[in-house]
Amino acid sequence: KFANRNILEGLIPVLDSLEAALKSVAEKVEESDSSPEFSNFSEGVAMVHKQLMDVLKIYGLTPIQAIGEQFDPNQHEAVIAIESDEVSEGNVIEEYRSGYQLHDQVLRAAQVVVSKGKVEKDVESEDTGEQQDENSTEQ
């Protein structure tokens, strides 16, 4: 079940490089001046990535789901926590680096950004500010 662990771990940096290339290429394709050849190249890189992921899945290597999931310290490594009005506290907002598991064993945790929850407005300072304004006008 885990006989291929070492080779699969060795392929994770290759996946990182392919994903970085896909991200870079996608940004260029979105530019209006990208050529049809460049778009074809982008599609080719995406196909290679998909084929590699399909083969690795046969051997039990799968990406760890992160974005939108509840933070799980067994599968996720929190790089930073930020306030968010859109994402509930403790949920993953963004993924910096993909994580992978071999069957049910984590090979590398996903590096993620976690939500601290809603941005809290400082009510006390607003009240204090109003009182200070009233006091300064009375003098």
Q: Is residue 127 part of a domain?
A: no
Same domain? For 45 and 94 the reply is no
Question: What is the predicted pLDDT for the residue at 36?
Answer: 78
Q: Is residue 108 part of a domain?
A: yes
Same domain? For 54 and 74 the reply is no
Rounded to whole angstroms, the Cα distance separating 118 from 91 reads 12
Q: Is residue 104 part of a domain?
A: yes
Q: Provide the domain limits for residue 91.
A: 64-122
User: If the chain, 139 residues long, is cut into consecutive pieces of 10 residues, what is the mean pLDDT of each piece?
Assistant: 88 94 81 74 90 96 96 97 93 96 96 90 54 51
Question: What is the predicted pLDDT for the residue at 127?
Answer: 52
* Domain stop point among 12, 40, 61: 61
Same domain? For 32 and 88 the reply is no
Same domain? For 56 and 19 the reply is yes
Alpha carbon separation from 8 to 17, 18, 118, 128 (Å, rounded): 15, 15, 39, 59
Same domain? For 76 and 105 the reply is yes
Same domain? For 24 and 51 the reply is yes
Same domain? For 44 and 95 the reply is no
Rg (CA), the chain: 23
Q: Is residue 130 part of a domain?
A: no
Rounded to whole angstroms, the Cα distance separating 38 from 42 reads 6
Same domain? For 54 and 75 the reply is no
Question: What is the predicted pLDDT for the residue at 93?
Answer: 97
Same domain? For 23 and 37 the reply is yes
Question: What is the predicted pLDDT for the residue at 139?
Answer: 47
**Structural domain tally of the chain?**
2
Question: What is the predicted pLDDT for the residue at 117?
Answer: 86
